[in-house]
């Protein structure tokens, strides 16, 4: 699929998007004398096929409000504006604001905020722009803060429908990993507690300017309306999960007993593990969400 084949109906059937290929991107960067800032994780997408895949995976519809994180020069923003009702784009780099004003000038359904996404009140944004209804988030994320951005969206209970993001391939693999595999860890459990992951595309380095050193992937995280497992104390469950994977090679019993975040002795931990019907030598990497939830409930009981 190329840019033309997408043929989105906008402004009487005409597509206005001009970005999405290396020539246009280089031209606009030169025109504004833009210099990439490594500290902001700037790798701009220059592939219409991948851009199409992202908006398709996000299931962007004409009634949707979309929050875009890090619009860069506005490449994906143009694609989003052509499909969604309203787009709000949050960009940290002041030098990109004049560029965005130019590239997004054909669109009346976009607003730009200059600032750090981690400092925005996203629940307030959902309230103001979408009447508090669940929003869709789309981003080619700056890789240096992928995990904090995703976790803060889910943990702060922002009303979310889905989050469709370009991340490092290795991070996408960790998000969707199952117990007992090499990629499985605390991130897999946290993401899968809040959302259902779906890998939409693998993206090679040559789809970006400048090229990143690693492969990338587009992953959609569809927010769950209910937690997949019942647990009395979520925070305790996540402390147990972090403890298990901080010392991945240790047994679950030693990892929990050694954790500075948890008050349990080796004996107490051993007893809870036994009561849960698990082997004394089990490692956290073998346990799924249901088992961590059951362990958390048992630890809670023994502390009462």
Q: Segment 198-237, which members bind ligand SAM (CB under 6 A)? A: none
Closest alpha carbon to 141 in 207, 91, 84, 66: 91
Enumerate residues 6+ apart whose C-beta is below 8 A from 160: 134, 135, 136, 137, 153, 154, 223
Give the number of C-alpha atoms closer than 13 A to the C-alpha of residue 84, restricted to the C-beta side.
Answer: 29
Exactly one of 140, 188, 192, 244 binds ligand SAM (CB under 6 A); which one?
140
- Scanning 65-73, 169-177, 233-241, 276-284 for contacts with ligand SAM by CB under 6 A, the matching segment is 65-73
Q: Segment 74-93, which members bind ligand SAM (CB under 6 A)? A: 75-76, 90-93
Q: Does residue 185 belong to the site contacting ligand SAM (CB under 6 A)? A: no
Enumerate residues 6+ apart whose C-beta is below 8 A from 67: 87, 88, 89, 90, 122, 125, 135, 136, 137, 138
**What minimum distance in Å lies between the beta carbon of 287 and ligand SAM?**
33
Are the CB atoms for 19 and 76 separated by under 8 Å? no
Exactly one of 15, 18, 32, 41 binds ligand SAM (CB under 6 A); which one?
41
Closest alpha carbon to 224 in 157, 170, 175, 285: 157
- Scanning 1-9, 115-123, 151-159, 274-282 for contacts with ligand SAM by CB under 6 A, the matching segment is 115-123
Total residues at interface with ligand SAM (CB under 6 A): 23
Where does residue 63 rank: exposed (0-12), middle (13-18), buried (19+ CB within 10 A)? Answer: exposed
Which C-beta is closer to ligand SAM: that of 106 or that of 212?
A: 212
Exactly one of 20, 52, 71, 284 binds ligand SAM (CB under 6 A); which one?
71
**What minimum distance in Å lies between the beta carbon of 202 and ligand SAM?**
16
Residues near ligand SAM (CB under 6 A):
40-45, 69-72, 75-76, 90-93, 96, 116-118, 140, 142, 145
């Amino acid at each position: 699929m190329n840019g033309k084949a997408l043929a989105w109906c906008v402004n009487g059937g005409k597509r206005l998007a001009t970005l999405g290929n290396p020539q246009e991107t280089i031209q606009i960067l030169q025109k504004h004398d833009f210099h990439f800032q490594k500290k902001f994780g700037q790798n701009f997408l220059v592939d219409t096929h991948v851009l199409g895949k992202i908006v398709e995976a996000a299931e962007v519809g004409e009634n949707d409000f979309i929050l875009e994180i890090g619009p860069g020069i506005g490449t994906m923003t143009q694609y989003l504006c052509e499909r969604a009702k309203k787009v709000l784009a949050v960009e940290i780099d002041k030098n990109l604001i004049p560029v965005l004003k130019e590239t997004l000038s054909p669109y009346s359904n976009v607003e730009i905020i200059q600032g750090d996404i981690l400092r925005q009140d996203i629940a307030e944004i959902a309230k103001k722009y979408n009447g508090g209804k669940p929003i869709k988030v789309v981003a080619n994320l700056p890789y240096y803060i992928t995990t904090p951005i995703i976790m803060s969206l889910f943990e702060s209970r922002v009303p979310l429908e889905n989050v469709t993001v370009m991340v490092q391939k290795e991070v996408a693999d960790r998000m969707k990993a199952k117990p007992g595999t090499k990629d499985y860890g605390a991130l897999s459990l946290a993401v899968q507690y809040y959302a259902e992951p779906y890998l939409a595309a693998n993206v090679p380095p040559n789809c970006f300017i400048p090229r990143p050193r690693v492969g990338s992937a587009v992953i959609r995280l569809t927010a769950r309306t209910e937690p997949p497992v019942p647990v009395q104390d979520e925070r305790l469950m996540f402390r147990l999960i972090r403890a298990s994977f901080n010392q991945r090679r240790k047994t679950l019993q030693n990892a929990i007993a050694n954790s500075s975040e948890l008050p349990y002795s080796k004996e107490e931990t051993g007893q809870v593990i036994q009561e849960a019907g698990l082997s004394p030598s089990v490692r956290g990497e073998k346990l799924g969400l249901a088992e961590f939830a059951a362990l958390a409930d048992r630890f809670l009981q023994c502390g009462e």
